Amino acid sequence: MYDVAIKKGLCYINGEFKALNVGIEGDKIAYIGKDNISGDIEIDGTSKLVMPGLFNAHTHLAMTLFRGFAEDMPLMDWLKTKIWRAERLLTSNDVYWGSMLGIMEMIKTGTTCFSDLYIYMDKVAQACGESGIRAVLCYGMADRGDSERAKKELKIGEEFIKKWDGAYEGRIKAVFGPHAPYTCSLEFLRDIRNRADEIKTGIHIHISETKEEVENFTKIHSKPPVEKLDEINFLKSDTVIAHGVWLTDVELKILAKRGVSVAHNPVSNLKLASGIARVTEMVKKGINVCLGTDGAASNNTYNLFEEIKLTSLLQKVKTGKADALHARDVLEMATKNGYSAYGIDGGELKEGGLADIILLNRKSFNFIPLYNPLYAIVYSSMGCEVTHTIVGGKILMEERNLLTIDEQKVMERMERIKEKFRSD
């Protein structure tokens, strides 16, 4: 008798879908196989696809607050007259509700874990705790060359880790979040790396998002960011760099050698006109690539199925080869690779792994005819085919009903909060 038994679903294992039963005990997958099993809770999987939950490897969750706030403006104009102005009005209460809406959207579209870098992170952690989702959280630090500020920032970052790492039955992992090499001095980054080694935590950072940023950095330091950061031994296998759009061949080699993961954000990279990352080459070089949505202001959704399809499509057109990546590789970027980037034992259906699992309706019109569920998920999903979202063995969504979040309340709060940001 398992805590939860998912019966007769088509389960994604080793790149293929097979009709199997899944037994969950506590927060782990205890059994996968053909035996008839029973559970305190039983889920009929006969019309479902069962797969690992998605991992959103780079986001700024509470930016749901600025979803559709201002669009189609030149980047600096948009940041200066809209986003930064609005962010100055942010309170911790806003971040709590903005995060809750983001979590709602993630659970509804099959994401079971996400990695967030923002401010008022205590409130993000609280929202994760209450909603039941899993997360890697960090306080976004920047010193902008000010050594006093560096000390203060590192202190806040470290206190956040001490307070939250392992919280909520281990669902929260806390790491360091230096913003980027153009907002953090090399001295600061070196201190962060040393401290990360001492307290044994990871690092989540933006690198090489825009061409301009890389050119400016290279002018100052005579080397592009990844080369320079490697010089100070910043890059290790506990490091996840977000974006990586403008990496050189040498930089790709360094990332592969150091075991650094890249969080690829295709929608955001198009929306902010940043560019198309060299994902096919990263994969060929053995770099662990995972997928993220970035913040809602530059996306505007947290629906990782969009990133899955777009990752595949963009690499086809970028390389000129329709077989640039296989659907299987891309699905792993969205699942296993995200978990593995942050050192969490999930993202696969396997006995002993975390029970972060989603179910999809395989009778959805856009999946028909169902030649191969893998292709249906990668190329046909809208996101709303997800019927169940399970995190650490706990059912957070059942037949599209959220069990841990009051949807109406969250949406009403957000509609009220948004009024203060309006500038038109």
Within residues 92-131, the interface with a copy of itself by CB under 8 A covers 101, 104-105, 108-109
For a copy of itself, the closer CB: 63 or 142: 63
3-state secondary structure of 67: coil
Beta strands in 184-283 (DSSP E): 203-207, 239-243, 261-264
In the list 13, 41, 75, 119, the residue contacting a copy of itself (rule: CB under 8 A) is 75
For a copy of itself, the closer CB: 203 or 324: 324
For a copy of itself, the closer CB: 21 or 311: 311
Cα 86 to chain centroid, rounded: 24
Distance CA(341)–CA(288), nearest Å, equals 7
Span from 69-77, 188-196, 283-291, 346-354 in contact with a copy of itself (CB under 8 A): 69-77
For a copy of itself, the closer CB: 88 or 200: 88
Inter-axis angle of helices 92-108 and 407-418, to 10 degrees?
130
Span from 35-43, 110-118, 253-261, 364-372 in contact with a copy of itself (CB under 8 A): 364-372
For a copy of itself, the closer CB: 93 or 366: 366
Distance CA(238)–CA(305), nearest Å, equals 26
Rule CB under 8 A: say whether 313 interacts with a copy of itself. Answer: yes
Rule CB under 8 A: say whether 89 interacts with a copy of itself. Answer: no
Are the beta carbons of 238 and 203 closer than 8 angstroms? Answer: yes
Rule CB under 8 A: say whether 370 interacts with a copy of itself. Answer: yes
Rule CB under 8 A: say whether 376 interacts with a copy of itself. Answer: yes
Which residues share a beta bridge with 136?
Answer: 115, 173
Smallest distance from a copy of itself to CB 334, Å: 16
Contacts of 410 (CB under 8 A, 6+ apart): 97, 100, 101, 104
Rule CB under 8 A: say whether 18 interacts with a copy of itself. Answer: no
Rule CB under 8 A: say whether 16 interacts with a copy of itself. Answer: no
Beta strands in 199-340 (DSSP E): 203-207, 239-243, 261-264, 288-291
Rule CB under 8 A: say whether 35 interacts with a copy of itself. Answer: no
Q: By CB under 8 A, how many residues form the interface with a copy of itself?
A: 71
In the list 9, 52, 347, 383, the residue contacting a copy of itself (rule: CB under 8 A) is 383
Scan residues 265-284 and list those touching a copy of itself (CB under 8 A): 267, 269-276
Rule CB under 8 A: say whether 198 interacts with a copy of itself. Answer: no
C-beta neighbour count of 129 within 10 angstroms:
16
Question: What proportions of the chain, in percent to the nearest 5, are helix, strand and coil?
Answer: 40, 25, 35
In the list 15, 68, 145, 166, the residue contacting a copy of itself (rule: CB under 8 A) is 68
For a copy of itself, the closer CB: 196 or 214: 214
Rule CB under 8 A: say whether 399 interacts with a copy of itself. Answer: no
Tokens, residue 357: 């699992």
In the list 16, 33, 73, 93, the residue contacting a copy of itself (rule: CB under 8 A) is 73
Tokens, residue 418: 């948004």
Contacts of 27 (CB under 8 A, 6+ apart): 169, 170, 354, 355, 392, 393, 394
> Which of 29, 73, 74 is CA-nearest to residue 51?
29
| Sole residue written with tokens 């929202």 | 127
Smallest distance from a copy of itself to CB 142, Å: 23
For a copy of itself, the closer CB: 210 or 340: 210
> Which of 369, 287, 378, 276 is CA-nearest to residue 317?
276
Binding string to a copy of itself for residues 323 to 362, with x set by CB under 8 A, is what? xxxxx-----------------------------------
Rule CB under 8 A: say whether 78 interacts with a copy of itself. Answer: yes
H-assigned helices in 65-146: 75-78, 84-87, 92-108, 121-131
Rule CB under 8 A: say whether 230 interacts with a copy of itself. Answer: no
Rule CB under 8 A: say whether 32 interacts with a copy of itself. Answer: no
Distance CA(400)–CA(385), nearest Å, equals 9
